[in-house]
Amino acid sequence: MAYLTTEITSSNPFYQRVESLAGPGNYMSFGKQRSIVAQRLGDTSYQLLFGAPLPEYWWAETDLLGDPPALRKWLLENIYPDWATVNTDIVRHSDGDFNVWALYGLPKEALSWEHVSGIALVGDAAHLT
């Protein structure tokens, strides 16, 4: 799973629309193994995360990261072609450069943990380190 991260700054004309969706917290939309997330930051801008199942190093084989308008167009045409306008407008009006954040998972069969009664690992606590 890869997340392409960018932002919407408070000077962006579309900022108020994202603020109406996320307020002082988050906005999340999920479907078809894809996601769009807006997270409000301390400077009041919003970090945007566009998630999709992509090959591990797809970004190294394309020039899209160096061309944010082309990457936005690619996302709209290839990752979110049938998503509601409320979501695709977030992609369309984002105003920052992009970074890649890859997420990895292990199959259940790869884990050899033994059950311990009364203990549960959730979220960040379950990271393998």
| Residue indicated by tokens 């009041």 | 44
Q: Where are the domains of the chain?
A: 2-126
Beta strands across the sheet bearing 26-31: 26-31, 34-40, 46-52, 2-8, 99-102
Q: Which two tokens stand for residue 11?
A: 């000077």
Q: What are 59-112's pLDDT values in tens digits?
A: 888 889 999 999 999 999 999 999 999 999 999 999 999 999 888 776 777 777
CB contact at 8 A, 31 and 78: no
Q: Give residue 123's Cα distance to chain centre.
A: 17
Alpha carbon distance 71, 90 (integer Å): 13
Task: Please state, for a pLDDT cut of 70, what percent of the chain lies above it.
Answer: 93
